[in-house]
């Protein structure tokens, strides 16, 4: 039709394609579905108008979310060609939409790849195609913020299923070799994520946390053997502690809860436990939050509780001495100081500040910090015990953990609490901390 020569009409038509749901799309006859996809790909590759190409990429990004699309022998390849072409366009809006389509397509491939692990008869893209997707995503992490946020999201989805602890030349079946990637590929992906989180904006940082959660869930990534693991944990702790955005902090906490064994945390385990405890205490003592963060506060508290219980369940008498000192000295300081002594330490500390400045005050601050930590830990654990004993035992309910993230624990909070209390009890028992041991024996009985 002559009217299709008008760019805004072509843009509007493609925008309508992008508004279709999966049910609507697959209710169409096959020839109509083919028209939608072929028109979108043709416009993305051939149209001279940037707004039209951007609308075409959006339509491709929407259709890419439909899982049945990957069953087509040719369509995924056509989509990837159109996406790759437009990620190199001089127009920023076009590159943004193309990168968004890339992330959506990688999400669908991720789901399909996980199905393939349990269904050998399933089919997926070949190795060269997956390699191309990784290459595109890595290149886009060097683009602007809006493009970069989609690129790191795509890398997270890809790193969820690539089998990093095998080499491609060890696999005979070229189609199955799609699952295999060498350690250099893994290292490059991690470096790109770390670079993005330190230079990116809020949305980039949130997507990096999301990507790291996916990476940690890849059972071929042996975190205990990765030299970069400690740097990754440090970045997540930094975001959890210092970010002003609760959504970023929430997803940093999600990522820190993904490793399934104590060994996965390696030498970073003491730092992660200490850092998380400080953050949990800080949040509980700070009731104020910005309006933009208010709606996320409840989910952040739930996620921090889950992550803290997850980590405390791993502590043991064999842990690093500095971590045991952190756990034992805090409780000991709280035990020996009655309320009047607490006030005395504050008064003496303030007096020291007038006489000798911060250096003289430091011992008083340290002692008061330990006492406060003890009070917080005891109150927090007792509060959880009381809450779980007065309510039905049920799985943790938090919007921060969902099937889309691929991380949905089926362990009840009370089971996790019991495990954490027993682990701490073992630490205190081995350290001959009789008073603390008695308290935790009572807590252990209340969670049994």
- Region of poorest pLDDT, from 184-188, 235-239, 325-329, 406-410: 406-410
Q: Is the pLDDT reported for residue 103 higher than 70?
A: yes
pLDDT on residue 412: 73
pLDDT confidence band for 434 (50 / 70 / 90): confident
Residue 334 and residue 224 share a domain: no
> Which three-class secondary structure state does DSSP give residue 391?
coil
User: For position 84, which CATH number holds?
Assistant: 1.25.10.10
H helices of 88-228, in order, are 92-118, 127-140, 145-161, 183-199, 202-216
Q: Is residue 428 part of a domain?
A: yes
Same domain? 76 vs 201: yes
Tell whether 194 and 95 lie within a shared domain: yes
Which of these, 389, 418, 382, lies nearest to 309 by C-alpha position? Answer: 418
348 & 216 share domain: no
Q: What is the mean pLDDT of residues 16-40?
A: 96
In a domain, 255, yes or no: no
- When pLDDT is cut at 50, 70 and 90, the band that residue 118 belongs to is low
Number of folded domains in the chain?
2
Residue 226 sits at φ, ψ, to 5 deg, of: -90, 125
Residue 279 predicted with pLDDT over 80: yes
Q: Which of 241, 256, 281 is the last residue of a domain?
A: 241
Do 332 and 223 reside in the same domain of the chain? no
| Residue 170 and residue 57 share a domain | yes
Q: What is the mean pLDDT of residues 335-364?
A: 43
Assign 164 a pLDDT band (cuts: 50, 70, 90). Answer: confident
Q: Is residue 306 in some structural domain?
A: no
What is the span of the domain harbouring residue 340? 323-447
- Among residues 225, 241, 257, the one where a domain terminates is 241
Mean pLDDT across 211-232:
95
Does residue 358 sit within a domain? yes
DSSP for 40-70? HHHHHHH-S-HHHHHHHHHHHHHHHTSGGGG
46 vs 165: which has the higher pLDDT: 46
Q: Are residues 48 and 189 in the same domain?
A: yes
Residue 17 lies in a domain: yes
Residue 411: pLDDT band with limits 50, 70, 90: low
Percent of the chain residues topping a pLDDT of 90? 56
Q: Is residue 287 scored above 60 in pLDDT?
A: yes
Query: Same structural domain for residues 228 and 372?
Result: no
Instruction: Considering only residues 405 and 277, tell me which one the structure prediction assigns the higher pLDDT.
Output: 277
The reply to whether 87 and 210 lie within a common domain is yes
Residue 99, CA distances (Å) to 21, 88, 95, 140, 302 in order? 21, 10, 6, 8, 32
User: What does the DSSP assignment read for 82-99?
Assistant: HHHHHTT-S-HHHHHHHH
pLDDT of residue 436: 83
Mean pLDDT of all residues in 74-83: 96
Are 211 and 329 in a shared domain? no
Q: Compute CA distances 262 → 50, 81, 258, 321, whole Å.
A: 51, 43, 11, 16
Q: Are residues 226 and 331 in the same domain?
A: no
**Considering the domain boundaries, does residue 95 fall inside one?**
yes
Whether 302 is covered by a domain: the verdict is: no
The SS3 call for residue 412 is: strand
- Looking at residue 123, its pLDDT comes to 62
Q: Is residue 289 part of a domain?
A: no
Count Cα neighbours of 209 within 13 Å in the Cβ-side half-sphere: 28
213, 241, 269 — which closes off a domain?
241
């Amino acid at each position: 039709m002559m009217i299709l020569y008008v760019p805004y009409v072509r843009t509007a038509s493609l925008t309508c394609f992008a508004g279709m749901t999966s049910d609507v799309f697959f209710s169409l006859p096959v020839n109509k579905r083919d028209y939608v996809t072929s028109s979108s790909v043709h416009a993305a590759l051939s149209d001279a108008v940037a707004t039209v190409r951007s609308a075409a990429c959006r339509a491709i990004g929407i259709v890419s979310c439909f899982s049945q699309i990957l069953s087509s022998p040719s369509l995924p390849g056509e989509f990837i060609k159109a996406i790759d072409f437009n990620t190199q366009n001089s127009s920023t809006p076009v590159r943004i939409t193309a990168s968004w389509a890339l992330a959506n397509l990688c999400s669908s491939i991720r789901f399909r790849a996980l199905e393939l692990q349990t269904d050998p008869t399933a089919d997926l893209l070949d190795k060269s195609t997956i390699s191309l997707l990784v290459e595109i995503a890595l290149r886009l992490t060097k683009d602007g913020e809006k493009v970069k946020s989609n690129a790191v999201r795509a890398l997270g989805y890809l790193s969820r299923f690539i089998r990093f602890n095998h080499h491609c030349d060890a696999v005979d079946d070229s189609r199955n070799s799609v699952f295999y990637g060498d350690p250099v590929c893994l290292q490059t992906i991690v470096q790109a994520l770390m670079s993005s989180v330190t230079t990116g904006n809020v949305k980039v940082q949130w997507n990096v946390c999301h990507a790291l959660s996916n990476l940690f869930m890849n059972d071929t990534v042996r975190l205990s053997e990765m030299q970069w693991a400690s740097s990754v944990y440090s970045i997540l702790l930094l975001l959890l502690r210092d970010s002003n955005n609760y959504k970023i902090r929430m997803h940093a906490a999600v990522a820190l809860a993904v490793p399934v064994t104590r060994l996965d945390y390696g030498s970073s385990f003491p730092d992660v436990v200490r850092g998380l405890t400080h953050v949990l205490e800080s949040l509980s003592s700070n009731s104020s939050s910005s309006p933009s963060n208010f709606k996320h506060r409840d989910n952040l508290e739930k996620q921090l509780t889950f992550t803290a219980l997850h980590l405390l369940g791993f502590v043991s008498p064999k842990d690093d001495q500095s971590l045991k000192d952190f756990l034992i000295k805090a409780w000991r300081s709280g035990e020996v100081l009655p309320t009047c002594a607490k006030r005395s330490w504050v008064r003496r500390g303030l007096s020291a500040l007038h006489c000798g400045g911060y250096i003289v005050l430091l011992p008083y601050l340290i002692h008061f910090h330990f006492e406060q930590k003890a009070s917080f830990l005891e109150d927090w654990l007792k509060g959880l015990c009381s809450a779980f004993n007065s309510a039905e035992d049920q799985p943790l309910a938090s919007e921060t953990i969902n099937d889309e993230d691929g991380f949905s624990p089926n362990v009840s909070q009370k089971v996790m609490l019991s495990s954490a209390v027993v682990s701490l009890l073992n630490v205190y028992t081995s350290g001959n901390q009789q008073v603390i041991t008695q308290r935790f024996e009572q807590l252990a009985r209340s969670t049994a």
